[in-house]
Amino acid sequence: MIGTILFVAFLAMLLGGVPIGVALGLAGALCIQLADQSLMAMPTNVYAGIAKYPLIALPMFVLVGSVFDRTGVALRLVRFATALVGAGRGALATVSVLVAMVMGGISGSGPATSAAVGQVVTKSMVKDGYPRSFIASIVGAAAATDILIPPSIAFIIYAVLTPGVSVPAMFAAGMFPGILTGLAIIVPILIISMLKDFGGHARGADRPRVWESFKEAFWGLMAPVIIFGGMRIGAFTPTEAAVIAVFYGLFIGFFIHRTLTLRDVYEMLVEAGEISAVILTVIALASVFAWSTSTLGIVQPITDGIVRLGLGEYGTLTLLILALIVVGMFLDGVSIYLILLPVLLPIAATFKWDLVWFGVLLTMMVAIGQFTPPMAVNLMVSCRIADVSMEATIPWVSWMVLAMLAALVMVVAVPDIALWLPRSLGY
């Protein structure tokens, strides 16, 4: 009964417009009170929820996204990719996906990448003959890969909440699935562009020279190499890598491209502080929700009920995929992990699923959900920049969602796509 009250109270507050973190905390507090438990457990759980070393990386990677957005790295990456790919049908659309994937290897934030890439490519893609609704769909889909390609804020949260899973292991496991998802998105983009004659209309424009554009993009291309190379050789931890990435971005902005000012630094710090505070507040208050579900014995009956459905390993996984994609349409990845991991991890333990592989699958499900209307965060950003309604993107979005689902099925069928790299690196 208390378990039902917990989830009903949370959903009621969510539908009533209460911020998700507050709704989680109040629902947990209500059930603690109804169960005659001490409310003094709340302060301890709130503190314990965020007093974790890996979480220090979170505000740093948020700041990294802001720094590289303002240094003009995205524009230089677009010029370099255009020089490599050319200017035919679907070429600039492919460039947008590739640049978003590289940006994902710097910031790890889908909305930030959607904004940075969208602002750079939208005007040139319109001139090249792409409809604005198609442009918004491409940018939103490409940005959805960013929670898969490390560094990923979602992976950091998952590793913190899951016993026995490390942040480096999750980063390594997400690399190939993230690239696979990006390549899967490119397939329908090229097919649609060929059939609809999108792109290649601005061939009179000067094509950037490969060597010159490479020199401009070099410093941005080196960012993922420094971040992951440093972690691999043991020069710094993932948390320290985030700090290194911030200073590297500032170095590029002040001394290489000379696009940053001290006022920019102040504004970036404020922006990163606000975003990080929201995320960490949700994590802290969700700890009360998670503590109440475990302490009051709510999780096990739900887990047992799902297992007793008799769907088997792959049937249960299919059910979870469908449920999480639907949930991902309405909630962000961090909130999904905080709310549902207490239920999902016992299910994974029942079927003896590898928790690193399972974390990659969950993140892929969330990525698909966050690109699927009506509440697709990345798509909202790209639609705003392209100045179109989200409804106009649905004909294009549906094909890209199918491509992302195909990539997800491949990772389910071949777990080594996710697990080979972390095993090879010894994680």
427 residues of the chain, pLDDT tens digit each: 666 777 788 888 877 878 877 888 888 888 877 777 777 777 877 877 777 777 777 788 778 777 877 787 777 887 887 777 766 788 888 888 888 888 776 766 666 677 777 777 888 888 888 899 999 999 888 888 888 888 788 888 888 888 889 888 998 999 999 999 999 999 999 999 999 888 776 654 555 677 888 888 888 888 888 877 887 777 787 778 878 888 888 998 898 888 888 898 998 888 888 878 887 887 788 778 777 776 777 667 777 788 787 788 888 888 888 888 777 776 666 777 877 888 888 889 888 999 999 999 999 988 887 777 766 777 877 888 888 888 888 889 889 999 999 999 999 999 999 999 999 888 7
- How far, in Å, CA of 238 to CA of 160, rounded? 12
Nearest to 70 by CA among 277, 262, 274: 262
- How far, in Å, CA of 264 to CA of 278, rounded? 21
Provide the pLDDT for residue 375. 64
- How far, in Å, CA of 370 to CA of 326, rounded? 9
Q: Residue ranges per domain, the chain? A: 40-424
SS3 86: coil
Provide the pLDDT for residue 120. 77
Q: What is the pTM of this model?
A: 0.81
Structure tokens at 359: 């974390």
Provide the pLDDT for residue 201. 67
Nearest to 62 by CA among 283, 280, 272: 272
Provide the pLDDT for residue 191. 93
- 20: how many CB neighbours lie within 10 A of its CB? 21
Nearest to 286 by CA among 336, 346, 219: 336
DSSP letter string, 185-231:
HHHHHHHHHHHHT-B-S-TTSPPPPHHHHHHHHHHHHHHHHHHHHHH
Half-sphere exposure of 412 (CA within 13 A, CB side): 19
Long-range Cβ contact pairs of 40-49 (< 8 A, separation 24 or more):
41/291, 42/288, 45/287, 45/288, 45/291, 46/284, 46/285, 46/287, 46/288, 47/284, 48/287, 49/283, 49/284, 49/285, 49/286, 49/287, 49/288
DSSP at 55:
G
Nearest to 280 by CA among 324, 230, 318, 335: 335
